[in-house]
Structure formats: C-alpha cells, structure tokens
Structure 1
C-alpha cells in the first residue's frame, strides 16, 4: 500500500477519489508579513532581516491511511 501526503491544501485535495492528506499553510498571514516587509523597504526603513514562524496545520484525510482502521 502507498500513503500520500501533499502540501498547500489546494481546493481539490478533498475532492479526489481518495481525499489527500495535506499540510495547510497560513497563506493570508504569509502574505501580510511579506507585504509589511515590502512596505518597510519601499519606505526606506532600515530594518534588519527577520525570521517568522507561522503555524501550519495538518489536514488528515484518507490518503495517509488514517481511516483504514476506523
């Protein structure tokens, strides 16, 4: 047997014949952080490089075999 996990939780992941287990990224938060950094740069703010950790979420569906023993 094969178990599959994807990344990005694309819209069709839950619609596949075997729904895809996937990691869901906080896309809005990533975009907001990137936009703020871009504005800081455009406005000439001398801000040192930063690192951010934003929470991802595991969306468990059938492709990982989680439902086989249910």
Structure 2
C-alpha cells in the first residue's frame, strides 16, 4: 500500500494526550499514537509532529519558572 502523501504535519493538542483523571499524560494514548505514526513511516511518509502544551504549561510550569502569563500564552 502506498500513501497519497509524502510529508505530513501532525499537530496534537496537549489535551489529546491527557490521562483519564483529567491531568498528566496517558502512556497508553502515547503508545497508540506511536504505533499509528510507525505504520505511516513504513509507508514512506515523512512526519513532522507538533505537540501543544499551552494549557499544561500555563497550569503551573510557567509561573514556577518565573515566566509571566502573557509570555506563557505566546509560548503555548
């Protein structure tokens, strides 16, 4: 089987990786997505991945690192 696309940009929101508890990252979700990406690469597709994390970042990581909210919004 051959893909119609040579290159793909995959944008994943941070929320799509969330654990069922509503926080953190679910390793089973990561494993599933990884398998799908692996399948695409075996077809010869080049994949660029962008993972969002603005809400996670703004949830505490930024302030703890001394980054103000507005700057965190631009980063996320």
Structure with bigger gyration radius: 1
TM-score by length of 2: 0.30
| Larger helix fraction of residues | 2
TM-score by length of 1: 0.32
